[in-house]
Amino acid sequence: MACSMGSENASKNQILSRIATSNGHGENSEYFDGWKAYNRDPYHPTNNPSGVIQMGLAENQLCFDLIKDWMVKNQQASICTHEGVHKFMEIANFQDYHGLPEFRQAVAKFMEKARGERVRFDPDRIVMSGGATGANETIMFCLADPGDAFLIPSPYYPAFYRDLGWRTGVKLIPVHCHSKNNFNITKKALESAYEDAKNNNIKVKGLIVTNPSNPLGTVLDKDTLRTLVTFTNDKRIHLVCDEIYAATVFGPPRFTSVAEVVKEMPLIDTDLVHVVYSLSKDMGMPGFRIGIIYSFNDRVVTAARRMSSFGLVSSQTQYMLAALLSDEAFVGRFLAKSRERLSSRYIHAGLKKNWNRRYHHFTSQLAQVGIRCLNSNAGLYVWMDLRRLLEEPTLEGELRLWRVIINEVKLNVSPGSSFHCSEPGWFRVCFANMDDSTLEVALQRIRSFVIRGKMDHRRTSPTPTLPTTTTTMTIKKKRGQMELRLSLTRYEEGLMRSPRGTLISPHSPIPQSPLVKART
Amino acid sequence: MACSMGSENASKNQILSRIATSNGHGENSEYFDGWKAYNRDPYHPTNNPSGVIQMGLAENQLCFDLIKDWMVKNQQASICTHEGVHKFMEIANFQDYHGLPEFRQAVAKFMEKARGERVRFDPDRIVMSGGATGANETIMFCLADPGDAFLIPSPYYPAFYRDLGWRTGVKLIPVHCHSKNNFNITKKALESAYEDAKNNNIKVKGLIVTNPSNPLGTVLDKDTLRTLVTFTNDKRIHLVCDEIYAATVFGPPRFTSVAEVVKEMPLIDTDLVHVVYSLSKDMGMPGFRIGIIYSFNDRVVTAARRMSSFGLVSSQTQYMLAALLSDEAFVGRFLAKSRERLSSRYIHAGLKKNWNRRYHHFTSQLAQVGIRCLNSNAGLYVWMDLRRLLEEPTLEGELRLWRVIINEVKLNVSPGSSFHCSEPGWFRVCFANMDDSTLEVALQRIRSFVIRGKMDHRRTSPTPTLPTTTTTMTIKKKRGQMELRLSLTRYEEGLMRSPRGTLISPHSPIPQSPLVKART
């Protein structure tokens, strides 16, 4: 049949919905453009060594060896093995939107362990949904009407625009945070955003925060959490805490869940407090689409569960994870190792451990060329400060620099503006979705870029002092834009050839890049 | 933490959304009440032999032996086996909303085979969603704005109210069909419903049909499909065909997909034609949440795919099914066996095959006591005509009879009114979600009920002629309602004790009943 692929015109517009024809999906932002650039020219150590390295993807690839070991030793945990296939019919047929009881129990237990067992989660309040993407949309459908608004501290996760607002019609009102106080959320900023909305006749139904923060990689302290709870309770609006990075906290201060805080505030109305969780980041399983809504409000639990029919977790996956997460010894070991590897890097024989701390290694290497990152202790990324490299401290300046980084330095990092950051010059850089050798290539590209940039800035031309690189770069002004040409030669080629063999994974960085991932 | 479970009041109402506090989830209907009755007192052959038998659940349990055999022989198809675990990381990380290419290809191929290979499906138009529930909601979000309407022939699937309208705000306008022409959809009825809507200032955006029909179990013939395509094209509105029962057609006439019809109508605008599919019924895997949107409209494909982020299929499940459905020999065998078993019953050693035809056996046994069903050739249910048993031909009369069937006869069948049938006295009765012995108990209960009802009707009291039953029943009038008391004695107890052993599955009918299934 003849199909007019790609044809778009006004009359066709009218036959679709306003939602379908709107830009609420958010894919026209720089955040997704970066992914597309990576997709067109993905780095591979041997097949495409000058390709774009994907540093826009908050994926956790560091602990799969532990899960694989467990799977091999627990074949009965799957309905697709000799040992577990007798359960196939029962599980394939299982579609109760409450979920498998053992899955809910195991998830509640895992949530407790990921929060240091300082708080209990009731399995009967665990509501499934299709990833955190689905969980966040569902909680909005439960709490707000089209046109209502949620406050959200900026910088915030770019795809919230889609997740929270596209189909629900809910508006997001940024609460601007600033570098001068490390992007802390202040009561003053909250009040100001709330009052502004009110003055514009916008009904604010709640506040949503990510804790640990995406993109900052920081955790909210107890005092701040108390402020948020009190602020929202006073206003009779909701507080939604997206805690999907809870178990990625790899250094002090420790993570505090809002559930822990409300436990210590007996006078507050917990009907206004809700948690979103997921196994995509903490377990590194975004493909399994496990989103969780945990509400202290019974009516929200009921409504969200009814809505979960639109995005239940596959019962095959529920069944397998119920077994995995019920193994307390495994979970304890996994969480400890995961934290260790996020700060230290994936262990390879023959390499000194101290040299290999992933977060510390990455940030200290950046520091050596004068690049500072926000002090952080969580997440799968750093919040990199390139303000001093901007030609001008504006959005345009940031995007110009970003285009150079994407197109010339060949790193897909995400510009702060896509996170709605009010200060130009910040970039989110992911570091857990690749192997060590790819990370080294990325670091080398950044070092070369900065050193050359400095050379240009100082209008001097000393020979680069890094002994391992012969990278050359030319910078010229053209039609008002800075252009950087980067020729990568021996240093990187050497790495790509992998003299150490084991350093390069055949699947590096990931075998097939998604054009647009469901949640990053 | 103290939580005020179940408290509801007006002020709390206000803090939630209109959607969350509406009845759009549809769970307050008789359809779901029947499930709740089953849930309170589920039949079990030995543990609860006088419990409610679940005949409200359109589940396909007849071919799991084939799938299990395949799984055991194809251990590499799962990432949780020794043989497949090397793929674990890649698959757990895979969250591209396009889906695994091999999954899309395999699903497209399966859709072709389920439609007799008379039509091709393009894998690039396969969009995933969370079951048919998610698929139907997604297509509405793509095609219609809140307040817009879709025409829908009645009787229709009760949960469409939730799936199509709850969160989208789309209205459903029934196109009433009648028993006098076997509930066929006529152009006259379509035009009339369309004009009525127009006169009421309701914008009709499309027509949605189930083919094969749920609850009728009939298929649309080519002429009717052409009428639907022409009608919708003429009006410039959409046609959505929900074909989730495509492979359950167990007798002539054969199934015709709308895809086959539009192929033969070169002048129509295929941008207005969309198919919804699922593996929940045809493969009997509702737990795996595989919903498919297949649209001939590129912009709908794009928008639906973006929306699929809210309900992607677990990559673990995609991977396994990609392998299963790519095995053409298996698929051919499975589809043939499935059809055979839907009309013939699950084969047990030592029982004569001819006696065991499930659909024919069920309907012919009903016919012996004078109960007629609509002639059908598809689905997992029959549309049973109990009009002559109504005390009065009204909705109230139907619900009164239904309550007797649920509470006294102890069968959860679904009343026609929950399917928005305009004629009282029809009931949907599912027959593929239980083993043979349970089906026999159900049949025996129906027989006893009808015979006793006849006795009462004739005001005579002959001894029941069925040799195998000693069921006794008393009927008395009380406060204007007919009450039937049924005492089950030896016949059923004999069956429950299972002298033939193998007839009774330890999992009969299903081990844990869902309170509310996602889709039936």
pLDDT tens, residue by residue, A308-364? 999 999 999 999 999 999 999 999 999 999 988 888 544 443 444 433 468 888 999
Does B12 contact A95 at a Cβ distance shorter than 8 Å?
no
Residue B446 identity (one-letter amino acid): I
The pLDDT value recorded for residue B511 is: 29
Tokens of A51: 């390709």
Kind of pairing, strands A204-210 and A238-242? parallel
Which of B68, B86, B316 shows the shortest C-beta gap to A288? B316
DSSP class of residue A224 equals H
Spatial distance between the Cα atoms of A398 and B345, rounded to a whole number of angstroms: 68
Spatial distance between the Cα atoms of A423 and A64, rounded to a whole number of angstroms: 37
Q: A127: helix, coil or strand?
A: strand
State CA A367 to chain mean position distance. 23
Mutate to test the interface with B, among A63, A93, A140, A320 (most CBs of B within 10 A): A93
Kind of pairing, strands B126-130 and B290-295? antiparallel
Reported for B400-405, long-range contacts at CB under 8 A and 24+ positions apart, including other chains, are B400/B481, B400/B482, B401/B425, B401/B482, B402/B30, B402/B34, B402/B427, B404/B482, B404/B483, B404/B484, B405/B449
Q: What number of helices (H) and strands (E) belong to chain B? A: 18, 15
Task: Report the 10 Å Cβ neighbour count for B23.
Answer: 11
Phi, psi dihedral angles at B437 (to 5 degrees): -65, -40
Percent of chain A as helix, strand, coil, to the nearest 5:
45, 15, 40
Residue identified by tokens 């008379």 is: B118
SS (H, E, C) B145-202: CCCCEEEEEECCCCCHHHHHHHCCCCEEEEEECCHHHCCCCCHHHHHHHHHHHHHCCC
B364 to B131, B361, B368, B371, B373: CA distances (angstroms):
34, 5, 6, 9, 9
Q: A410: helix, coil or strand?
A: coil
Residues pairing with B414 in the sheet: B428
User: What is the distance in angstroms between the Cα of A418 and the nearest Cα belonging to chain B?
Assistant: 19
Asked if pLDDT for residue A119 goes beyond 50, the answer is yes
Radius of gyration of chain B (CA): 24
Q: Is B504 a catalytic residue?
A: no
The pLDDT value recorded for residue B442 is: 96
Average pLDDT over residues A411-436: 94
Spatial distance between the Cα atoms of B477 and B426, rounded to a whole number of angstroms: 23
User: Measured between beta carbons, which residues in chain B are less than 8 angstroms from residue A80?
Assistant: 71, 75, 77-78, 80-81, 320
Spatial distance between the Cα atoms of A276 and B494, rounded to a whole number of angstroms: 52
User: What is the distance in angstroms between the Cα of A141 and the nearest Cα belonging to chain B?
Assistant: 7
The enclosing H or E element of A451 equals helix A436-458
Spatial distance between the Cα atoms of B354 and A116, rounded to a whole number of angstroms: 63
**How does pLDDT run along chain B (520 residues), one tens digit per residue?**
333 333 344 444 489 999 999 999 988 876 677 788 888 999 999 999 999 999 998 888 888 999 999 999 999 999 999 999 999 999 999 989 999 999 999 999 999 999 999 999 999 999 999 999 999 999 999 999 999 999 999 999 999 999 999 999 999 999 999 999 999 999 999 999 999 999 999 999 999 999 999 999 999 999 999 999 999 999 999 999 999 999 999 989 999 999 999 999 999 999 999 999 999 999 999 999 999 999 999 999 999 999 999 999 999 999 999 999 999 999 999 999 998 888 854 444 344 443 346 888 899 999 999 999 999 999 999 999 999 999 999 999 999 999 999 999 999 999 999 999 999 999 999 998 888 899 999 999 999 998 876 666 554 333 333 333 333 333 343 333 333 333 222 222 222 222 222 222 333 222 233 344 555 6
The pLDDT value recorded for residue A139 is: 98
Residue identified by tokens 């198919």 is: B275
Task: Report the 10 Å Cβ neighbour count for A144.
Answer: 29
User: Measured between beta carbons, which residues in chain B are less than 8 angstroms from residue A271?
Assistant: 4, 12, 15
For the packed helices A328-343 and A315-326, what is the interaxial angle rounded to 10 degrees?
Answer: 90
The pLDDT value recorded for residue A341 is: 86
Which of B98, B145, B519 shows the shortest C-beta gap to A18? B145
Which of A6, A134, A289 shows the shortest C-beta gap to B298? A6
The pLDDT value recorded for residue A32 is: 74
The pLDDT value recorded for residue B27 is: 84
User: What is the distance in angstroms between the Cα of B122 and the nearest Cα belonging to chain A?
Assistant: 10
Average pLDDT over residues A78-86: 94
Does B315 contact A280 at a Cβ distance shorter than 8 Å?
no
The pLDDT value recorded for residue A408 is: 93
User: What is the distance in angstroms between the Cα of A150 and the nearest Cα belonging to chain B?
Assistant: 13
Name the closest residue on chain A to residue B132, using Cα atoms.
A310
Question: Among residues B53, B152, B244, B504, which one is catalytic?
Answer: B244
pLDDT confidence bin for A386, thresholds 50/70/90: very high
Residues pairing with A210 in the sheet: A242
Mutate to test the interface with A, among B15, B28, B120, B278 (most CBs of A within 10 A): B15
Asked if pLDDT for residue A510 goes beyond 70, the answer is no
Lowest mean pLDDT among A7-11, A477-481, B44-48: A477-481
Does A270 contact B1 at a Cβ distance shorter than 8 Å?
yes
C-alpha count within 13 angstroms, C-beta hemisphere, residue B218: 19
Q: How confident is the model over A253-277, as pLDDT tens digits? A: 999 999 999 999 999 999 999 999 9
Nearest Cα residue to B125 out of B334, B295, B329, B251:
B295
The pLDDT value recorded for residue A310 is: 97
Name the closest residue on chain A to residue B60, using Cα atoms.
A93
C-alpha count within 13 angstroms, C-beta hemisphere, residue B474: 4
Does A20 contact B61 at a Cβ distance shorter than 8 Å?
no
How large is the greatest C-alpha to C-alpha distance in chain B, in angstroms? Answer: 73
Does B271 contact A15 at a Cβ distance shorter than 8 Å?
yes
Spatial distance between the Cα atoms of A243 and A277, rounded to a whole number of angstroms: 5
Asked if pLDDT for residue A8 goes beyond 70, the answer is no
The pLDDT value recorded for residue B475 is: 36
Alpha helices by DSSP H, listed for B274-327, are: 298-307, 315-326
Which of A77, A162, A310 shows the shortest C-beta gap to B311? A310
Name the closest residue on chain A to residue B7, using Cα atoms.
A298
Q: How confident is the model over A50-63, as pLDDT tens digits? A: 999 999 988 888 88
- Write down how long chain B is: 520
Spatial distance between the Cα atoms of B33 and A509, rounded to a whole number of angstroms: 52
Spatial distance between the Cα atoms of B133 and A385, rounded to a whole number of angstroms: 45
Question: Among residues B31, B43, B156, B157, which one is catalytic?
Answer: B157
Task: Report the 10 Å Cβ neighbour count for B73.
Answer: 10
Average pLDDT over residues A173-197: 97
CB-based contacts of B122: which residues, under 8 Å, 6+ apart?
B108
Name the closest residue on chain A to residue B166, using Cα atoms.
A307
The enclosing H or E element of B208 equals strand B204-210
Phi, psi dihedral angles at A152 (to 5 degrees): -150, 120
DSSP class of residue B300 equals H
Angle at A445 between CA A440 and CA A446, to 5 degrees: 100
Q: Just list the catalytic residues of A.
A: 157, 242, 244, 281
List the beta strands (DSSP E) in A266-320: 273-278, 290-295
Average pLDDT over residues A377-406: 95
Question: Among residues B33, B242, B385, B436, which one is catalytic?
Answer: B242
Which of B75, B131, B303 shows the shortest C-beta gap to A20? B303
More confident residue, A476 or A180: A180
Name the closest residue on chain A to residue B516, using Cα atoms.
A96
Phi, psi dihedral angles at B358 (to 5 degrees): -70, -55
The pLDDT value recorded for residue A518 is: 54
Spatial distance between the Cα atoms of A371 and B162, rounded to a whole number of angstroms: 53
User: Would you say B383 and B426 are in contact if contact means Cβ atoms under 8 Å apart?
Assistant: yes
Average pLDDT, chain A: 84
Does A71 contact B59 at a Cβ distance shorter than 8 Å?
no
Q: Which pTM does this prediction carry?
A: 0.86
Q: How many CB pairs under 8 A join A and B?
A: 333
Does B288 contact A316 at a Cβ distance shorter than 8 Å?
yes
Phi, psi dihedral angles at B383 (to 5 degrees): -105, 100
With a pLDDT cut of 90, the percent of chain A lying above it is 72
Name the closest residue on chain B to residue A91, using Cα atoms.
B287
The enclosing H or E element of A304 equals helix A298-307
Spatial distance between the Cα atoms of B473 and B457, rounded to a whole number of angstroms: 13
Task: Report the 10 Å Cβ neighbour count for A367.
Answer: 11
Spatial distance between the Cα atoms of A390 and A424, rounded to a whole number of angstroms: 8
Phi, psi dihedral angles at B468 (to 5 degrees): -95, 0
Does A143 contact B20 at a Cβ distance shorter than 8 Å?
yes
The pLDDT value recorded for residue A517 is: 55
Which of B142, B272, B289 shows the shortest C-beta gap to A312? B289
Angle at A506 between CA A501 and CA A507, to 5 degrees: 140
pLDDT confidence bin for A28, thresholds 50/70/90: confident
CB-based contacts of A157: which residues, under 8 Å, 6+ apart?
A210, A214, A215, A419
